Amino acid sequence: MRKVIIISLLSLAGLQSYAQEVSSDLKELINKSFTYFPRFSELEQSVKTEEERVTLAKANGLPNLTCSAGYRYSHPVSEMTIPINGQLSTFKIMPNSNYNTGLNASYVLWDFGVVKANVESAKRAVQYAKDNIEYNRAQMAYQVAVIYYQIVYLQKAIAIQDSVLAFLKANKEDTEIKLKHGDALRYDVLSIQSTIDQENNTRIDLENSLLKQYNLLQYSTGSTAANGKDFDFMQANENKQEALNIAQQHNPEYTLLKDRISQSEAGLDISKKAGLPSLSLSASTGFANGYMPDLNQFRYNYAGGVTLSVPIYQGARARRQRSLAQSQLKEANLGMQTLNNTVQNDIKQAYTDIESNQSRLVNAMEQVEEAKEAQKLAQSRYRNGTGTNLELTNASTNVQRAERSTLQYTYQLCLARLELARVLGTKYW
């Protein structure tokens, strides 16, 4: 009957925690980490970098405009001899000193979509960089939540340790009174004091671990305090059959992998356009000398034309680029199968941990009640002189063990729910 009541209480607590959101204190710490932790500034800068690559890729499709000025001295130069009035005269048909200034423009009229493909590839890289921020946020949220609940666990463990020490100290006082009346041995007092010293060392270890968690909290969020009191993380999603589909839709690892596949597809599209012809327009205008009849006179000139460039041999680079791009795309698609297997296993492990910890928690809570009842009886018998110190010590140890087990299973249940939320891509911040 007692176990049924405990199970009912656990179920009710689970429904209440499912209805509630994650504590505002945890949400605040997680969101602080997004602005405090330097990694996110780096990731945001990477987005800006990729956006610059998009601008650069678009620039490859814009006209090129250059201004030039030059001088060239040539010798010898072509000459022409013709008879004039019965005499042979020699004329230069180009000057030794050549001067020119000009404004030159070029524009690719047709490139079979090479520029467009490169722009699209750059845009997909921007999307990957943005999704990478969300992925790192999910990872950071999980780490902060683990630290947060580790602090709650250690605080509760210290509270249990304090109750153990308080009981031992009260037991020591009772034993010292019995020693004065000749009803106890000096050995009993020393034995209790030795146990107190051991438990004090355990408390020091717990405090040291708690301090380390606060240091980690400050490292991650910049905060030095967490106000969590309970393992109040949301109840696990009960729809096991749809868990993988939920993860595929919301887990940021899937988003990143889809981005990788998208980038590989863009790379394959670019490789297919390698080695294709291009049609370019060019035009220039300016001033130059070297025109008849006065070769040294600066004269205005202009020119324009169209150029068709057709690659004939490139050492099979285009074919090899396509082969490489196809291999990269296949690798990315195979990565989806690997991720599915990993996530499916993580989901099963998380549900197994949740169910096993729930079952163990029921037994542990029942053991706590039984151990406390036994401790009361042992303490009463000891004070009345019908029990021994050994009986009381054993009863106290059983209570301590049961309370620690209950705390441990509650903590592990919270972590299992947190792990499941991470795998499913639940956004709890």
Structural domain boundaries in the chain: 2-61+111-276+314-424, 68-109+290-310
Give Cα separations from 357 to 204, 349, 362 (angstroms).
Answer: 28, 12, 9
Residue 183: exposure state from Cβ atoms within 10 A (0-12, 13-18, ≥19): exposed
What pLDDT is attached to residue 303?
94
Question: Per-residue pLDDT tens for 205-229?
Answer: 999 999 999 999 999 999 999 999 9
Strand partners, 103: 67, 285
Q: Which helix (H) or strand (E) holds 66?
A: strand 64-73
Q: Give the CATH fold of the 2-61+111-276+314-424 domain.
A: Outer membrane efflux proteins (OEP) (1.20.1600)
Question: Per-residue pLDDT tens for 379-403?
Answer: 888 778 787 777 888 888 888 889 9
Among 123-137, 184-198, 279-293, top mean pLDDT goes to: 123-137
% pLDDT > 90, the chain: 63
| Model pTM score | 0.82
Tell me: pLDDT of 7 over 70: no
For 231-238, what is the mean pLDDT? 83
Which residue type is seen at 42?
E
| Model confidence band, residue 353 (pLDDT cutoffs 50, 70, 90) | very high
Transcribe 229-244 into DSSP letters.
-S--PPPPP--STTHH
What pLDDT is attached to residue 81?
83
Nearest CA to 43 out of 128, 142, 143, 122 is that of 128
Question: Per-residue pLDDT tens for 176-199?
Answer: 888 888 877 888 889 889 989 999
What pLDDT is attached to residue 406?
94
Q: Is 144 helix (H, G, I), strand (E, B) or coil?
A: helix
Q: What is the mean pLDDT of the chain?
A: 89
What pLDDT is attached to residue 1?
47
| Model confidence band, residue 175 (pLDDT cutoffs 50, 70, 90) | confident
What pLDDT is attached to residue 389?
75
What pLDDT is attached to residue 391?
82
| Upper half-sphere CA count for residue 361 (Cβ side, 13 Å) | 22
CA 370 – CA 401 distance, rounded (Å): 12
What pLDDT is attached to residue 5?
44
| Model confidence band, residue 283 (pLDDT cutoffs 50, 70, 90) | very high
Tell me: pLDDT of 310 over 60: yes
Tell me: pLDDT of 43 over 50: yes
What pLDDT is attached to residue 210?
97
Give Cα separations from 370 to 165, 367, 373 (angstroms).
Answer: 20, 5, 5
Count CB atoms within 10 A of the CB of residue 271. 21
Give the 3-state DSSP-derived string for 155-217, with helices as H, strands as E and coil as C.
HHHHHHHHHHHHHHHHHHHHHHHHHHCCCCCHHHHHHHHHHHHHHHHHHHHHHHHHHHHHHHH
